[in-house]
A and B are shown apart, each in its own frame.
Chain A
């Protein structure tokens, strides 16, 4: 009995302790559960936030990979799926146009999706609207040479200098000769100080005073400028002087195409379709009329020492409003081209219309628009004014951009092709590009040079004896570019061809200067910058500062030169597609970001 009572008592004591423990346990549980709820919610929020960020940067990774591959000419398909750090990114690449690609990358991390879109642009749609476009050097046609059209196109010629033909020289389309030009001695070419145009107010509209040396139309001005960012195309106006500042109405105006300006200083031409007729000794102003944008603007180089005595530089927020101009220290870089000579056509058979100041001894199927003429089959139609000067279709800045793209690729130190350096030689097909060759390029004896990107040759280019230069198939309908600092000489069945698709051409550019048919050193045959002959086919040839000599049955797509010499049955066969040719640095370069943003 004693034992039983004792045991019972012990049980009672134990119940109190259990109750106490239960009591504290419940309180603890309540507190813990109360805190756990918000903590878990916070954790979930934080995890979603991190996943969303991971998803965004995974998409960015996909974009950057695709952009790198496109810029560097690496292999990439239309869609790519990348797995990265537990997430995936779906990259879709599509062509918006021949000059624009769109990349959309969709990142996915733990079902958190974010999309990034990048648009890339490339290329320069150079406007080869004529079978032959000739600079101030003019066009000389002899011995049955012709400029023809094919595939529905007519072979038009536009020349800033005279066209001189003979011996049944023919142009099947229209021939236009602009009124000739001379560089005025009045100009400022020293560059030592930047003047930012349109970056900040009120330095928006800049003007340079000048005084022409002769009373002639001002057909063209050239400004020494560069661009920062991507400014829109400004308007250049010629304005009279009003008490030492520009007047508020323009005598002539034209658009300066922003694409013609590079990121380093160069002379950018602006031609006026209705030039202002200047009077020698009077004062005028070149007004650079633009808007304001702190990241996209121009820089107009000036000479802080006031080297040009007959003018000053000034700026104002808006040229056409009243108010005073502020003078800068120095002169802004400019050149004036005065229409000194008159355009002329002599001894050519023209299938379309002829436009020139004077036309002599020619046979014209269409209308002869001229101010004076003699020995023609038609009388002059004087209803139209002399044609204005036309700029070269490719600017120096564009060519400089192509050279930069080439230099970013492979560099071959030495010659290429015949007896070329390693990687750029061999008896079969040589594939290079983007690439720069520091020596000469020689392709002969049936060798093939396949351009996979823009190629810049610091020396000369010689293509002959069935040598072929062509664009790689990866160019598709785009055209490829071959540039020489020296001359280009192609003959003996040299073959130039595009990628094989229609619309693809090869553009051969020589930046050689001073080879204009008179005795000079370092020129191709006939003292030319580009010499083409002996059954050559294909290609668009371009040189802005030298002569192109075409002879011996050469048949080429289109030609642009400072001076053009056609002889011995040479034929320029202009194709419709050349006008729309899109010259890119190729699949291997030249793509730049147009826009980059997150999308839904």
Chain B
């Protein structure tokens, strides 16, 4: 009986202080963890945006340069930013055609035979710099492409540089 009364007495002040302190610490930890997870997730998405834009652009431009037989130096802007690359190439049927890469409102666009097909980099990325350089060898030509892309989500902004050099197989 004595013990039963004792058990219903409630919490002592010290107990309360200990419990609240414990709860506060756990809550701070939880919120902090959630926030950092959110930041990490946003960071991940920004990286993904950059990578997917760069992958799409470089896969396409690499394939086009490799298939081209000449760089139209007069129609291209070489060595400076913003650059333009006008390639003389052949379609699957062997007919001559042109493919052009240029920067318009922060995105890299493609033109085929002078017709703008739209941007190849995604709307979530900005093209900070697009520089094209032509390398002329004794037997063949090559093109170096340097691109700086940036992407922003919330207060996270990332910028990365991408490079590639491709030999024009059509020049053989």
Residues of A within 8 A of B (CB): 1-2, 5-6, 9, 20, 24, 27-28, 31, 34-35, 38-39, 42, 49, 229, 293-295, 593-598
Contact of B44 among A20, A24, A38, A596 (CB under 8 A): A38
- Name B62-109 residues within 8 Å CB distance of A: 63, 66-67, 69-70, 73
Chain B, residue nearest A52 (CB): B59
Sample of 10 A–B contacts (CB below 8 Å): A24-B30, A27-B30, A31-B34, A38-B45, A39-B44, A293-B70, A294-B70, A294-B73, A295-B171, A598-B63
| A295 adjacent to B48 (CB under 8 Å) | no
| A1 adjacent to B3 (CB under 8 Å) | yes
Contact of A596 among B41, B48, B169 (CB under 8 A): B169
**Secondary structure at chain B's binding surface: helix, strand, loop or mixed?**
helix
B37 proximity list for chain A (CB < 8 A): 31, 35
A1 proximity list for chain B (CB < 8 A): 3
A24 proximity list for chain B (CB < 8 A): 26, 30
Please judge, given known A-B contacts A5-B7, A9-B7, A31-B34, whether A42 and B141 are in contact too, CB under 8 Å.
Answer: no
| B41 adjacent to A34 (CB under 8 Å) | yes
B170 proximity list for chain A (CB < 8 A): 595, 597
Interface residues on B, range: 20 to 34
A39→B41 CA distance, assembly (Å): 10
B48 proximity list for chain A (CB < 8 A): 38, 42
Q: How far is the CB of A23 from chain B (nearest CB, A)?
A: 9
B70 proximity list for chain A (CB < 8 A): 293-295
Q: How far is the CB of B69 from chain A (nearest CB, A)?
A: 7
Whether B40 sits at the interface, judged by CB under 8 Å, is yes
Q: How far is the CB of A571 from chain B (nearest CB, A)?
A: 46
| A596 adjacent to B172 (CB under 8 Å) | yes
| A593 adjacent to B172 (CB under 8 Å) | yes
Instruction: List 15 additional A-B contacts (Cβ < 8 Å) besides A597-B169, A598-B67.
Output: A5-B4, A5-B7, A28-B33, A31-B34, A31-B37, A35-B41, A35-B44, A38-B48, A39-B44, A49-B59, A293-B70, A295-B70, A295-B141, A593-B172, A595-B172
| B55 adjacent to A5 (CB under 8 Å) | no
B3 proximity list for chain A (CB < 8 A): 1-2, 5-6
Q: How far is the CB of A345 from chain B (nearest CB, A)?
A: 49
Q: How far is the CB of A200 from chain B (nearest CB, A)?
A: 9
| B73 adjacent to A597 (CB under 8 Å) | no
A34→B38 CA distance, assembly (Å): 10
Residues of B within 8 A of A (CB): 3-4, 7, 26, 30, 33-34, 37, 40-41, 44-45, 48, 51, 55, 59, 63, 66-67, 69-70, 73, 141, 169-172
B45 proximity list for chain A (CB < 8 A): 38
| A295 adjacent to B41 (CB under 8 Å) | no
A38→B40 CA distance, assembly (Å): 13
B171 proximity list for chain A (CB < 8 A): 229, 295
| B34 adjacent to A27 (CB under 8 Å) | yes
Q: How far is the CB of A507 from chain B (nearest CB, A)?
A: 28
Q: How far is the CB of B64 from chain A (nearest CB, A)?
A: 11
Q: How far is the CB of A307 from chain B (nearest CB, A)?
A: 30
Q: How far is the CB of B168 from chain A (nearest CB, A)?
A: 9
Q: How far is the CB of A29 from chain B (nearest CB, A)?
A: 12
**Secondary structure at chain A's binding surface: helix, strand, loop or mixed?**
helix
A5→B67 CA distance, assembly (Å): 85
Query: Which residue among A35, A293, A594, A596 has the maximum number of chain B CB atoms within 10 Å of its CB?
Result: A596
A429→B170 CA distance, assembly (Å): 43
A597→B67 CA distance, assembly (Å): 6
A551→B47 CA distance, assembly (Å): 84
A144→B70 CA distance, assembly (Å): 60
| B4 adjacent to A35 (CB under 8 Å) | no
Q: How far is the CB of B37 from chain A (nearest CB, A)?
A: 5
The 10 closest A-B pairs by CB, nearest first: A593-B172, A596-B169, A31-B37, A2-B3, A596-B172, A5-B3, A295-B70, A597-B169, A295-B171, A35-B41
A229→B168 CA distance, assembly (Å): 13
Query: Which residue among A42, A594, A597 has the maximum number of chain B CB atoms within 10 Å of its CB?
Result: A597
Q: How far is the CB of A6 from chain B (nearest CB, A)?
A: 8
B30 proximity list for chain A (CB < 8 A): 24, 27
Query: Which residue among B3, B7, B45 has the maximum number of chain A CB atoms within 10 Å of its CB?
Result: B3
Q: How far is the CB of B72 from chain A (nearest CB, A)?
A: 8
B63 proximity list for chain A (CB < 8 A): 598
Please judge, given known A-B contacts A5-B3, A596-B169, whether A295 and B44 are in contact too, CB under 8 Å.
Answer: no
Q: How far is the CB of B117 from chain A (nearest CB, A)?
A: 20
Q: How far is the CB of B92 from chain A (nearest CB, A)?
A: 8
A336→B8 CA distance, assembly (Å): 127
A49 proximity list for chain B (CB < 8 A): 55, 59
A596 proximity list for chain B (CB < 8 A): 169, 172
A42 proximity list for chain B (CB < 8 A): 48, 51
Contact of B66 among A31, A295, A598 (CB under 8 A): A598
A2→B7 CA distance, assembly (Å): 11
A598→B89 CA distance, assembly (Å): 13
Q: How far is the CB of B11 from chain A (nearest CB, A)?
A: 11
Chain B, residue nearest A32 (CB): B37
Chain B, residue nearest A16 (CB): B19
Chain A, residue nearest B169 (CB): A596
Chain A, residue nearest B37 (CB): A31
Chain B, residue nearest A592 (CB): B172
A594→B170 CA distance, assembly (Å): 9
A596→B170 CA distance, assembly (Å): 7
A50→B2 CA distance, assembly (Å): 75
Chain B, residue nearest A41 (CB): B48
A9→B4 CA distance, assembly (Å): 11
A1→B6 CA distance, assembly (Å): 14
A6→B2 CA distance, assembly (Å): 13
B73 proximity list for chain A (CB < 8 A): 294
A594→B69 CA distance, assembly (Å): 12
